[in-house]
A and B are shown apart, each in its own frame.
Chain A
Amino acid sequence: MANFKQYLEQIREIGRVMGLNHYLAYVSGLPTLKLGEMVITESGQKGLVQELDKEVAKILMFEVGKLKVGEAVTRTNTFFQIPVSENLLGRIINPLGYPIDGLGPILGEKKYLPIQRKAPGITERVRVSQPLQTGVTIVDLLVPIGYGQRELVIGDAKTGKTTFLLQTIVSQAKEGIICIYVGIGKEISAIKAVEDYLREMKVLNKTVMVIATSENSSPLNYLAPFSGITIAEYFREEGKNVLIIFDDLTSHAKFYREISLLSEEFPGRSAYPGDIFHIQAALLERAGNIKKPSLANKEVSITALPVAETLENDISGFIQTNLMAMTDGHIFFDINDFRKGKLPAINAFLSVSRVGNQTKKPLDKKLSGWIKRTLVEYQRVMEIAQFGGELSQETQKLLDLGEKIEILFNQEVKMIIPRAIQLFLFGLLLSGFWEDKPQNIMRVEVNTILKNYEKILPEVKKEIEKINDLEKLKNLVEKVIPKVREILYQPI
């Protein structure tokens, strides 16, 4: 990129900073300035044109407090662009595309892409048809996600949303999917924890982290998701499937609200500006499953998992409902379930996946149907059982089954469970393997199986592909039970 002097000599237009308000600069001059254009100041700082009046333009500066009144500003004649390349993988960058992980500059050939781009049109789009395995049993079975879907992850702070997203990244990165983690307004310590987790799970080299922390200025935080999706689009254009996570968009809305109020835009509901829905919808619309004529009509996708934070389980907030309207469903993390010790604290009854179910195989569909039916019964019986009356043996059995399903849904932070093992464990439950065993014994056995699942995985994986109903699943389980016993009762 050229410097101030080169741009000035090329474009021959100049403006002067007339006033400053935090990161908002009022600039006069620059007769042919365009909205969304990038400008550069004498001291080399960059900014984005936010608003154009007759006399002055409002410029969003990326850094705060370094500009002086009277300083010269010139146009760059380009919209805000970021450098993208394969070499971004494994790196942590800020929304301007500069590395912030201390590993030096990003080398190699780069392509510059504008961060505001049009979403693919309806003719390019194709139906979501392939399932995306998150490695989290409750999601894969009850709220399944497909490649190209936009699924909102919603819940109170500290209920395990980021943990679930990281598990999804690990599961997908191991399958060769490009993962992009966009952190908006997070603390540096939280970002460090994400980095450490991904490094420990050996998937950092398949991930790009686009980070704006709470220490950065609001404009940078506001731009972060756009930079992230631009990088995702670059990889999709290269014919690769991408998973992008926006953590989180409620903070993003707050940053945009701050910018809008500072630039004296008219406040609407909850003081958010009128175009907040448009801004975020236009962002999420850029995700999706498309076919690429240049790659022999190959289907490539960007799967977006935006995050929304709630307060005390209130999912009816303005931004939360906006995001629900833009996405193809949501996974709800319930603070009450979290307090009960359920991990992940996903409330399957309040979660929705609008397009994920169509990607499921017949066996998964039948199994999830059975689980849902059983859980509904279990919930109903639980309410009655609270009154403390004498329960029939059948009811007690149902309660036990419900609790055992919940044990199978409980999952440790670093545990990624492949589909075959998820189905196999439920096969074990269905075949009555744990019928007469107390729950604590079952819990130990499930953990032991999960820790050693590699011993049975190849066999189960091969067989499970051919199965399409629950009876056959039971038969398969019967065949593998001797091996399971070997795992469970091996000498220490």
Chain B
Amino acid sequence: MEKSFAELIKNIKTTEELSLVLDEITKKRLKGKKIPSDLEKKLRALPKLRLEIAFSPPESFIKRVSQWLEKELGQKIILDVVVNPKIIGGAVIEFQGKWRDFSLAKEIHHLLSDYPAE
């Protein structure tokens, strides 16, 4: 049981999973289990990245993105995945106050605005 809980924490990738784990911690505390006091604080302090994509992502996709981020940034990042079909393709990324639009909708918008109106 303890092992699987540790495993769970290690495998947190998205905000949904994070809130599940936080719920679990609260339940365990209520049952009288000893859990390090700063664990919850540390989990909440994990940096979050908001990822807006046009499709509902499969688990493998999230895993790949999460692993890539952890490798590139050198720390665990929690993904906040938002599905927004309006962006058509690509992604809109929000991380630590920075915002970048790599969506297909933006590209199309730019292409269309290059043409003079009839």
Contacts of A465 in B (CB 8 A): none
A30 within 8 A of B: yes
Is the CB of B97 closer than 8 A to any CB of chain A? yes
Among residues of B, the one whose C-beta sits closest to the C-beta of A8 is B99
A31 within 8 A of B: yes
Question: How many inter-chain residue pairs (CB < 8 Å) link A and B?
Answer: 22
B52 to chain A, nearest CB (A): 11
Are the CB atoms of B96 and A12 closer together than 8 Å? Answer: no
> How many residues on the B side are at the interface (Cβ–Cβ under 8 A)?
7
Check B97–A29 contact: CB distance below 8 A: yes
Q: In whole angstroms, what is the CA distance A74 to B98 when docked?
A: 10
B94 contacts the other chain (Cβ, under 8 Å)? Answer: yes
CA distance A8 to B93 in the complex (A): 12
The docked-state distance in angstroms from the alpha carbon of A13 to that of B95 is 9
Q: Is B100 positioned at the interface, with any CB of A under 8 Å from its CB? A: yes
The DSSP consensus for interface residues of chain A is: mixed
Contact with A along B49-77 (1 / 0, CB 8 A): 00000000000000000000000000000
**A436 proximal to B (CB < 8 A):** no
Q: Find out whether the CB atom of A30 lies under 8 angstroms from the CB atom of B101.
A: no
CA A29 to CA B101, docked complex, whole Å = 17
Alpha-carbon gap, A12 to B96, bound state (A): 12
Q: Which of B72-118 contact A (CB under 8 A)?
A: 94, 96-101
The chain B residue with its CB closest to the CB of A33 is: B97
Residues of chain A lying within 8 A (CB to CB) of residue B101: 9, 12
Q: List the B residue with the shortest CB-CB distance to A28.
A: B97
How many Å from the CB of B78 to the closest CB on chain A?
A: 14
**A8 to B98, alpha carbons, bound, how many Å?**
10
Whether the Cβ atoms of A29 and B96 lie closer than 8 Å is: yes
Task: Give min CB distance, B80 to chain A, whole Å.
Answer: 10
What chain B residues lie within 8 Å of A74 (beta carbons)? 99
Task: Kindly list chain A residues whose C-beta atoms are within 8 Å of the C-beta of B97.
Answer: 13-15, 28-31
Q: Which chain B residues in 13-29 approach chain A with CB under 8 Å?
A: none
Q: Which residues of A contact B96 (CB under 8 A)?
A: 29, 31
Taking the closest CB of chain B, its distance from the CB of A55, in whole angstroms, is 11
CB distance from B68 to the nearest CB of A (A): 22
- Inter-chain contacts of A14 with B (CB < 8 A): 94, 97-99
Determine the residue in chain A with the shortest Cβ distance to B94.
Answer: A14
Of A9, A14, A28, most buried by chain B (CB within 10 Å of CB) is: A14
- Please encode chain A, from 12 to 27, with 1 for each CB lying within 8 Å of some chain B CB and 0 for all others: 1111000000000000
Interfacial residues of chain A within 221-267, with CB under 8 A of chain B in the complex = none
- Cα separation A30 to B98 with both chains bound (whole Å): 7
Contacting residues, chain B, for A31 (C-beta < 8 A)? 96-98
Q: What is the bound-complex CA distance between A8 and B97, given in angstroms? A: 11
Within 8 A of B (CB), among A9-53: 9, 12-15, 28-31
Min distance, Cβ A404 to any Cβ of chain B, angstroms: 73
The answer for the CA separation of A13 and B100 in the assembled complex, in Å, is: 8
Please give me the residue from chain A that is nearest to B100 by CB atom. A12
Chain B contacts with A in 22-44, Cβ cutoff 8 A: none
Q: Which 10 A-B residue pairings sit nearest by Cβ, starting from the closest?
A: A29-B97, A14-B99, A31-B97, A30-B97, A12-B99, A14-B94, A13-B97, A15-B97, A13-B99, A13-B98
* Chain A residues close to B by CB (< 8 Å): 8-9, 12-15, 28-31, 74
Q: Can you pick out 9 interface pairs between chain A and chain B where the beta carbons lie within 8 Å of each other?
A: A12-B99, A12-B101, A13-B97, A14-B98, A14-B99, A15-B97, A28-B97, A29-B97, A31-B96
Known: A8-B99, A29-B97, A74-B99. 10 other contacts (CB 8 A): A9-B101, A12-B98, A13-B97, A13-B98, A14-B97, A14-B98, A14-B99, A15-B97, A31-B96, A31-B97
